[in-house]
Structure 1
Amino acid sequence: MSQEHILTLSCPDRVGLVATLARLMERHGCFIASSRTFGDPDTGQFFARLVFQSEGGDDVPAGLKADLENAACELSATWGIHTVGQPVKTLLLVSKSDHCANTLLYGARRGELPIEPVGILSNHRTLEEGFSHWSLPFFHVPVTADTKADAEASMFALIEETGAELIVLARYMQVLSNEACTRLAGRCINIHHSFLPSFKGAQPYHQAHARGVKVIGASAHYVTPDLDEGPIIAQATEGVDHTYSPADMIELGRHLEGTALLRAVKAHAEHRIFINAGKTVVFAR
């Protein structure tokens, strides 16, 4: 079987876009294995993700890329071509909780998650020994109010050194600066608890317990300068009742955080996400 590739494209919506893409593929002898498209009537944007194979072999026809570039100019489109299964180099950031990072690392090890972990960065040494069995570089970069700028400079140096394409805040309990968030736009994912209603500040699970919530959950989203307000990628929820203690909720919350983050990172690594005016379009596989 020939190597499969993914075409992602977004542009202002108009008549004939699906037909245009189909004709381009046909012209260059490419078989469309799957196709997902969406036109948003609210934003007027069109999004497409095509998985295709070339009759000529594993490589993407050069003529197809040239024609796509010409079409993109005409359509004011943003596009990209990616190889199916190509792992995305990923740097994990943690503080003192290991459950989210372990979920991602195990997913990568068993082949469920198409990422290549390139290292773990932490502002503490608490988890260094516990992560040693993953045989990954562990980078200790302490952060204080006075050293925050230097710590972020070290982080970006490590991103450059490791070639990381995706940054995951896997329970990294530091707020990135606005400048860092802007530099990492569209390639930095965060996870946090998400209650209905939402509880912010200290001891959110205790607040939820005191209010008798019936649903708890977690949200994974892209990082933006607006703290915890970035485009949501994935959410996981679970019903609870009066028998749940704060400790029970905390334990369940850990599982939900790992689940939501895994789904979000998987969708990103499979090139299924489009940012759409402050929210996301996430295609099914």
Structure 2
Amino acid sequence: MSRLEATFAALKAEGRSAFVTFITAGDPDHASSLEILKGLPDAGADIIELGMPFTDPAADGPAIDLAAHRALHAGANMKQTLSMVRDFRAGNAGTPIVLMGYFNPVYAYGIDRFVTDAADAGVDGLIIVDLPPEEDEELRLPANKAGIDVIRLATPTSDDARLTTILDGASGFVYYVAVAGVTGGKSATTEDIKAAVDRIKAQTDLPVAVGFGIRTPEQAGSVASVADAAVVGSAIVQTIASGLDESGKATAGMVKDVLDFTRHLAEGVRTAKQEKGCC
């Protein structure tokens, strides 16, 4: 059983959904980013999405776009991102890590080399937002062979026919993008999210994680009450940005503030289903 499968199975047995956090690798610098990454599980993260910095993150809003540029300015690259995963794994063997980003950095690194190095580092899954199902075999097949899930994205515009294509070959979980647009935008209603999750689950046994537009513990809890996981990215990344000084350097309390905020969000997820009397 993979780390992702084990995590979702354990949480299902507890009667709750997963809390998935996102940060950009190397934001605002390697040391601070690694400290946040290592602290996320104790702050309540069940699964961690680690962004691979890229110069043109077209699906991301201003917060994550700026985070990617801060990381790149500080010297982040794919080698450093994978090094962060290895350093994390030295102290944490259980929390799944999913690399999220765009195909260009993977292609530039070399697909075979990337898959080998990612598996060796302890990566559990990949979300490549600009690689459609029809074109992902060159990455998905070697990744799956190495034990890495390739997680597919569904959106509000994915009709049933498109869902069939999205789910064919998907593994790990399905990431449902709750709103049309970029990360950090408006939020969808709980009713709309539930309807979408139910429609996806009618076609797959994979867990469904929901992201985009979740900023508060209350919103995270609402999503967690109808989905298998709630994903928070931009709000955490904005907390990192708020902890920088005028020169863009991390202040003394930045890491603690980020982890405290993450812990606050996690509480919303952890109590959601219990409050609704599901367990």
TM-score computed with the length of structure 1 as normaliser: 0.30
Higher relative contact order (CA 8 A, sep 6+): 2
TM-score computed with the length of structure 2 as normaliser: 0.30
Larger % of helix: which? 2
Larger % of strand: which? 1
